Amino acid sequence: MGMEEEQLFSSLEDLQVQSFLGRGTKGVVFLVKLPRSRPLALKVISREELMKKKNGKSRELVLKQVLLERDFLKMFDHPLLPKFRGEIVTDVMVGLAIDYCPGGDLRTLLERQTEKMFSCDNIRFYAAEIVLALEYLHGLNIVYRDLKPDNIMIQETGHVMIVDFDICTKLSPKPVLVPQPANTVTTTDRKALRQKYLPVSRYCKPVPIQPVFNNIIESVKTEKFKSMSMAGTEHYISPEILLRKGHDYSADWWGLGIMLYEMLYGKHPFSGNTPKETFDQILEKEPNLVGDQTALIDLIAKLLNKDPLERITLEGIKSHRFFEGVDWETILDISRPPYIPNCANIIMEETEKIDVVSFVRECYLADAMEDIEIGKTAKE
């Protein structure tokens, strides 16, 4: 079976579970392998644990929400996004498989650097690839909403891959402006003219109304052009999401600004002792952009504009002077990215059998205990 084909399997028994890789927003990720195949990353979501958090919702609705990520994965056809390799659906869990990225995540790579910072050239490379991936997602009307170094994986080629799509949202396509015939007068136009000329109209002959070219929007009021839901990670969430006044693709550009700040300064621009303090800073504090006012700092400032209507857009980002010299059409063809993982160190050996369901349950239990401790700390 070629790696471009979907790899089908029906149960965990069909897979060799090698090791625990990490946590997603809702799932636990394992390194797995099919016989005579390359390694895969299997994200396992516990339906049992999700039911505890989804009070009042049916099992069918919870399953539908979990499988939204699968539906997103099946849509993708881009070198910087995962390819869907198969699924496992049982009464207790859902498993989604994608290609394994041996380079780990960008967070780990960043922490290996001197003072936990990247050079400007490395930042430019990773930022450009993230921009291309987000451009593709936005073209599918998807707002990612969880951009952070933890969700940027390094493929064996050294190019990035964005993962973890369980809090994405899909918006309606932007309304299309349709030209109205030039000699058409709308009902609103007629009412306005009648009110304006009513006192004298009885004494005058009808006068032809001058042709007007109007634009009308063919849309339905129920269409979703912005999301009102609360979603994101503490240090990366945008002001408009916190305010719950509706957000769109611009929220992802805020996330990119936070990431660029981290890669440049080695720390978060907004960070309090509690989530509330962090959120207050996001809403009220300006980022501390110290140092020479370089092109990168200028771009970060434009990305971290708290007003989404004033925030820099895709077109402005790609034409910004920080990316001067970047060929957007060929960047994916670069054969020597800043870091290429040593795949020779990846040895797939038989290991002690992992009870995936029990392991996932323990992870959820640990999360619950942590939430209790955080709650106690907040009250104190």
pLDDT in tens, the chain (380 residues): 344 455 567 677 778 888 889 887 678 999 998 877 788 999 998 877 676 666 555 667 667 777 888 999 999 999 999 999 989 888 888 899 999 999 999 999 999 998 889 999 999 999 999 999 999 999 999 999 999 999 999 999 999 999 999 888 899 886 655 555 555 555 555 555 455 444 444 444 444 444 443 443 444 444 566 777 778 889 999 999 999 988 999 999 999 999 999 999 999 999 999 999 999 999 999 999 999 999 999 999 999 999 999 999 999 999 999 999 999 999 999 889 999 998 765 555 555 678 887 888 777 666 654 544 434 444 44
- The CATH number given to whatever domain includes residue 269 is 1.10.510.10
pLDDT value for 379: 44
Is 1 a domain residue? no
pLDDT value for 183: 54
146 is catalytic: yes
Is 20 a domain residue? yes
pLDDT value for 160: 97
In what helix (H) or strand (E) does residue 170 lie, and over which residues does it extend? strand 169-170
Residue 336: DSSP 8-state = S
**Which tokens is 226 given?**
């912005």
Range(s) of the domain holding residue 184: 176-218
Is 5 a domain residue? no
Residues 288, 162 share a domain:
yes
pLDDT value for 335: 85
pTM: 0.80
Residues 233, 125 share a domain:
yes
Residues 273, 156 share a domain:
yes
Residues 300, 249 share a domain:
yes
Residues 255, 128 share a domain:
yes
Q: How far apart are the first and last CA of the chain?
A: 57
Residues 311, 238 share a domain:
yes
Residues 243, 112 share a domain:
yes
CA distances from 290 to 75, 119, 256, 293, 294 (A): 41, 16, 18, 8, 10
Residues 266, 209 share a domain:
no
* Four-point Cα dihedral 199, 201, 207, 212, nearest 10: 40
Residues 292, 151 share a domain:
yes
Residues 61, 114 share a domain:
no
- The CATH number given to whatever domain includes residue 25 is 3.30.200.20
Residues 234, 148 share a domain:
yes
Number of domains in the chain: 3
Catalytic residue, from 99, 105, 146, 164: name it. 146
pLDDT value for 6: 54
Residues 266, 184 share a domain:
no
